[in-house]
Amino acid sequence: MESTSAICLLMKWQRSALLIFAISASFIYGGCTGAGRNQPSIEGEVNLTFRFVPANSGLTGTNFKEKLGVIRKGLRKNAMILVAPSSVCASLKGASGPMMLEGWATPVFNVGDGLEMDMFVRRAGEPRLVGSRYFDAGRKFEDRDWIPIAFPLDLGQDDQLEIDVSAGPQGDLSADWLALSSLRLVPRKTAP
């Protein structure tokens, strides 16, 4: 009888060890999807990844998080997280003329009533809206993936980019977290 219970105990231990191994392997290898590999840079491209800071001193670490891994539809990207209501800005020094702001965006959660992202270029303190996007992952299946964003900009010296995230038209702030990844400025070709 003791040998039977010892065998049962050993089998339970093996199953537990196998389960722990499987979970550990998924965490270790889950980020190896190729999304984090360096892409070849485009001539004149300006990486905005580490330029963002809170736009006002009232924004705390709970509304703005940098360099977090976010997985959507199996694709992991390192991202900046903005929790509504929040606003961040970045200096655009080193970029001027016709550019495209490119990157990826996604709501972090599939619940809630949606959230809104507005992008502004500030020149001499005056904001100019350059793009807006409403996300509703709770009701729109396509918003549960990484969504490419691209906005044309005409930049001058010393312009700033500001990103505001709000509750949107519904006004409820539940689960209003937006992930932004690989934000960059790329020279825009103008028609001859």
Q: Six-digit token pair at 107?
A: 């709501």
Q: Which of 7-11, 34-38, 128-132 has the highest mean pLDDT?
A: 128-132
Of 112 and 180, more confident? 180
Picking from 78, 56, 83, the residue whose alpha carbon sits closest to that of residue 66 is: 78
Distance of CA 64 to the CA centre of its chain: 11
Residues 6+ away with beta carbon under 8 Å from 51: 90, 91
First to last CA, the chain: 89
Pairing of strands 126-135, 147-155: unpaired
Query: Domain 46-187 class?
Result: mainly beta
CA atoms within 13 A on the CB side of 50: 0
φ/ψ of 32, rounded to 5, equals -95, 50
Instruction: Write out pLDDT tens, residues 94-135.
Output: 788 999 999 999 999 988 888 999 999 999 889 999 999 999
